[in-house]
Chains A and B, each alone.
Chain A
Amino acid sequence: SSINRSTSVNEPPPWRATNPFLNETLRDVQPSPINPFSAFFEEQERRSHNN
């Protein structure tokens, strides 16, 4: 049986079709092993520990 959850978003986002961050395209995203933000998160954690 198909799950017919009609996500009734009345207003489509004003982004163009070239935007990969539209809801539809977010489903099967494999997490990337490349995380340029990991250093940022570590730094943030260090800061919160110091406080």
Chain B
Amino acid sequence: MESGDEAAVEKCRIHLRPGTLRDAPPAMLHLLPCEVLVSRPAPVGRFFTPAIRQGPDGLEVSFRGRKLRGEEVVVPPGLVGYVMEEKGEVVVGKGSSEGSSNDKEQEQQELVEPPEALERDFDRFIGATASFSGFTLWGLETIPGPDAKVRGALTWPSLAAAIHAQVPED
């Protein structure tokens, strides 16, 4: 998604499958105050989640021997959180590996897509795999305060609305 890895083909459109927004099952998200360098499956439910305790000032857990403090943060009103994944090089008519009924439906959607998508060969697809209405925000030793950058970011949608709303006519 970051512009860096999209540089090759300016014509490229990445289609977001609308159906996946309806069907996305709820997910548990934690925003950690540290960088884990590799993205991959992790036994979060075995080591992390069961260790979370309700302490006097919010949630407590430890990760790699460091104490974390956290709290639930809700998604701003009017928005829904989604986790999205790109589905490799999907070619029309070629089924994906998971083979659920949902995928068959998606396959049909590809087939009925209008031929006006001329850059067909370059087009890619992305879909929501999960949804969320809030996540747990973790800080090292203390709960991230009101000045935390992520809290500021969550106020962006209301400000953006003011910047981009149509101005009244004269």
* Interaction A to B: no
Contacts from B to A (Cβ < 8 Å)? none
Contacts from A to B (Cβ < 8 Å)? none
